[in-house]
Structure 1
């Protein structure tokens, strides 16, 4: 490799990736190298060596290193095909981002994954920006109801009326499938006709408003209504300077969740954690701050329990507070972005169980540092 390429890929990062015994340091080096591969113009020879490095990352024993590779290059056409196939066979938290987004897969690659019937992987393929009719058949064949609902709602999925009919017939008692179809932007008339016998009054009214179904049909469907539960994915918008008022609004709207507290803690947003736990527990912020930072694990455990967090979430918040304090007292002058990067890297290597969704969230936060931070509004 040329000296220019070595400067692009960084000899120090390569050395750290290959030799460093610490998982989090290898993950940090892996992410920097992947960012360089993603953004650099490399010659054919340089791409070959970069491919060897990526293959090396994909074989690392530490999941956090492989996850850093998957998250950072999930959208990139520069991810080598053979490396993408390796990642697709990995554990869900590594395979899902790549299966969801990577443009380097062909249908045969994806069909092989679908045949494994791994629920999270099937759902990831169903959510891809473009899903061919052939893949639709295989998702219906090998997927569960959740994957089929994801497919039904995906405007990028090429679903024929016959395939829609099969999906609705197979999951006749599952309201989510019909509701997912209704959420599509452009619903063909043939699919609307198949939906009519499957939906409730509530869904029929949505169908009427969104896809111009005659009102008399919606009224007729009222006789077939039944109870359902709807889970809303809330767009958490954290743009505010007035933290106390903002947290109060989140609580009033039911958006101040334990998951949000946990993720804020891992991102070094301890003022938000203090205000959030205080609001959920119904105590003063000053008291919550003391319990988060000064009262030891038992005081914080009691606070988290009162706020509705699980024991596992409380342990994570406590560990995050300890890491935050250690970084603050290290004597090193961190800028805000590097402080957060170090914080996230350390919480990712804690010997605590994090959900796949939380692990991916923190890795994507790492990848997005410097490109805007939804927590970075002076809440540190």
Structure 2
């Protein structure tokens, strides 16, 4: 059968789970790409054949090897991972350097959060020149050390990669400081919006020195947990009125911070009054809601669901919340409008991929103008790489391409 002139017969042998390893190795050099791809997907294929196929001329064959090898990694025990065959690691290293972005992307997505992935392979993927490859690893991989991340930041990664680092869980103080010293506005915005990031007070001061010229930093700064009193006073001197109201309504400010805020507001009102214009910050008095207030707090998801049901979940509502930095509500609103689970919406935004974020907004029935703002503000995509409207107002991709973008995340087409 393996010597049959019919590729379909040879492929049947290549696919069979009980085919002997020596026959699978023989078929790894078959002239038909469909046969070699079947060998690449067969779990019984010997590693020598996998290594050969990892260098195959056809992208679909190399992609199949990447998917199979990566699927094997989670099944290995810690002891097995420590003794992993040299050929398996060599296969992964070969695939991590593949010329096809698709192959490297498959590998990155499969290995991004595995605790036993080879460090060298993860490091190679983390330094990839394509954001779609390096971003999942930079955002999730527990293999990357602070030294790895600091080195990547110092060497200037691909645009958008630093935002992925800034969005990692429990960013260390040293890494946060390296991000704050960069000129990457989007990365600093992501860092400030990351509640688990460890930002030292001197690092925060450095950010505040530049913050008046960086409007996207204002909302996450105002909502940053455990704000020092000095930082509160500095913020009150330059943020917009709407964000000042948010700052005033915070209930977690210590007495010293509340006093600093009250004084800053008085000075700001005094300056405005001397200029002849009244200032109305609205809302509750400085220090939070009135004592004894039992006004219930509506969760972002509940508010989005209610407004959607009432027909009031409009683009302007979402845009206003996005400007104010209310990320949770915007994600919930996009979930309601697109009928995509909020966890997948969050994952799409977290890729920092312009095409994926644009396709999400299209699915939600929003304009390309909103999609552009979502790329910049919500996904922290640099302006140079964000997608622009076609002819000023139209989406730049075809409907089929946008459906394909969403299918990559397991989203089915609307009925």
TM over 0.5: yes
**1:159-202 deviation per Cα after TM superposition (whole angstroms, max 9, x unaligned):** 12221111011232222223112233443445334423232221
**1:102-136 deviation per Cα after TM superposition (whole angstroms, max 9, x unaligned):** 11111221111111233412222111112222112
TM-superposed CA distance for 1:45, in Å, is 3.3
Task: Please tell me whether residue 111 in structure 1 is matched to residue 195 in structure 2.
Answer: no
Match runs of 1:128-143 below 5 Å: 128-143=168-183
Asked if structure 1 preserves the Cα contact closer than 8 Å seen for 2:188 and 2:217, the reply is yes
**Which of 71, 78, 99 is 1:61 aligned to?**
99
Match runs of 1:66-215 below 5 Å: 66-91=104-129, 92-118=131-157, 119-210=159-250, 211-212=252-253, 213=258
Name the CA distance, whole Å, in 1 between partners of 2:338 and 2:165: 36
Query: Which residue pairs with 2:5 in the alignment?
Result: none
TM-superposed CA distance for 1:72, in Å, is 1.5
Match runs of 1:1-380 below 5 Å: 9-11=43-45, 14=50, 17-18=53-54, 20-41=56-77, 42=80, 44-46=82-84, 48-91=86-129, 92-118=131-157, 119-210=159-250, 211-212=252-253, 213=258, 216=262, 219-220=265-266, 221=268, 229-230=323-324, 233-235=330-332, 236-237=334-335, 262=359, 309-310=394-395, 312-314=396-398, 317-318=399-400, 363=408, 365=409, 373=410, 375-376=411-412, 379=414
> In 2 relative to 1, CA 40–180 (structure 1 residues): closer, same or farther, beyond 3 Å?
same
Name the CA distance, whole Å, in 2 between partners of 1:73 and 1:49: 17
Q: Which runs of 5+ in 1 are unaligned?
A: 242-257, 266-271, 281-303, 322-343, 345-357, 366-372
Asked if structure 1 preserves the Cα contact closer than 8 Å seen for 2:41 and 2:64, the reply is no
> In 2 relative to 1, CA 53–264 (structure 1 residues): closer, same or farther, beyond 3 Å?
farther
What's the C-alpha RMSD, in Å, of the aligned pairs?
A: 4.3
Name the CA distance, whole Å, in 2 between partners of 1:164 and 1:200: 19
Name the CA distance, whole Å, in 2 between partners of 1:48 and 1:240: 46
TM-score, with structure 1 as normaliser: 0.59
**1:69-102 deviation per Cα after TM superposition (whole angstroms, max 9, x unaligned):** 1111111112211111111221222111111111
Asked if structure 1 preserves the Cα contact closer than 8 Å seen for 2:162 and 2:179, the reply is yes
Name the CA distance, whole Å, in 2 between partners of 1:142 and 1:260: 25
Asked if structure 2 preserves the Cα contact closer than 8 Å seen for 1:152 and 1:181, the reply is yes
TM-superposed CA distance for 1:32, in Å, is 3.2
Name the CA distance, whole Å, in 1 between partners of 2:220 and 2:53: 43
Q: Larger relative CO (CA 8 A, sep 6+): 1 or 2? A: 1
Asked if structure 1 preserves the Cα contact closer than 8 Å seen for 2:81 and 2:116, the reply is no
Q: Secondary structure at the match of 2:249?
A: helix
TM-superposed CA distance for 1:263, in Å, is 6.2
Q: Secondary structure at the match of 1:108?
A: helix
Name the CA distance, whole Å, in 2 between partners of 1:32 and 1:7: 6
Aligned residues: 278
> In 2 relative to 1, CA 202–112 (structure 1 residues): closer, same or farther, beyond 3 Å?
same
Asked if structure 2 preserves the Cα contact closer than 8 Å seen for 1:66 and 1:94, the reply is yes
Bigger Rg, structure 1 or 2:
2
Q: Secondary structure at the match of 2:170?
A: coil
